């Protein structure tokens, strides 16, 4: 018999770009620092510490199973041409918290009309001011970062026990 995997909202979730990803402890971070968690990441907190600086606390770094990539995974928003809208710099703190910094990504290698021209402000003369390549910026409007985190073992054990209880019913 062939093995079949059934994807549903317990084991998979579309990322910010609509691609189906393995579900696990996921924190969704929005431009203003608001966030949402799924059942497995409940207890994680996000604070916005400055322009493009987000801290995820009450976690133990990135998820370690490599299901989303080398260090657990961040899903970065992309444009219609599948190009990432921002650069991400990140580091895990000794206490397990994750600091994520976001920077504008221009794509100068493309024709001008396909570059990522993101409006920063309007100056006193009514001229548009755009972000420079590599300049710190918040997550773009109407976008989010999806971050796959490692939760403390207590939380994982509680979740596993709940899932086993559901299977037994």
| 10-22 residue pLDDT tens | 555 556 555 555 6
| 26-41 residue pLDDT tens | 999 999 999 999 988 9
Q: Which pLDDT score is estimated for 153?
A: 79
Q: If we measure between CA atoms, which residue out of 118, 133, 142 comes closest to residue 31?
A: 142
Q: Where are the domains of the chain?
A: 21-106+133-158
Percentage of residues of the chain with pLDDT beyond 70: 74
Q: Which residues contact 111 (CB under 8 A, 6 or more apart)?
A: none
- The pTM for the full model equals 0.79
Longest Cα–Cα distance in the chain: 70
3-state secondary structure of 50: strand
Q: How far apart are CA 93 and CA 47, in angstroms?
A: 15
Q: Which of 42-51, 66-75, 117-126 has the lowest average pLDDT?
A: 66-75
| 85-133 residue pLDDT tens | 999 999 999 999 999 999 999 999 999 999 999 999 999 999 999 999 9
Please check the confidence at residue 7 and state whether its pLDDT lies above 80: no
């Amino acid at each position: 018999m062939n093995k079949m995997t059934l994807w549903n909202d317990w084991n998979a979730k579309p990322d910010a770009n609509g691609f189906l990803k393995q579900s696990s402890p996921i924190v969704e971070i929005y431009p203003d620092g608001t966030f949402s968690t799924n059942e497995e990441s409940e207890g994680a907190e996000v604070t916005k510490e400055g322009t493009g600086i987000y801290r995820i606390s009450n976690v133990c770094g990135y998820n370690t199973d490599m299901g989303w990539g080398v260090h657990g995974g961040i899903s970065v928003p992309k444009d219609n041409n599948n190009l990432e809208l921002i650069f991400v710099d990140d580091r895990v703190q000794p206490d397990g918290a994750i600091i994520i910094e976001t920077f504008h990504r221009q794509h100068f290698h493309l024709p001008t009309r396909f570059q990522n021209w993101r409006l920063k402000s309007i100056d006193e003369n009514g001229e548009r001011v755009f972000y420079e390549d590599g300049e710190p910026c918040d997550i773009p409007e109407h976008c989010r970062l999806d971050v796959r985190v490692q939760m403390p073992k207590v939380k994982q054990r509680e979740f596993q026990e709940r899932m086993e209880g559901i299977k037994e019913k």
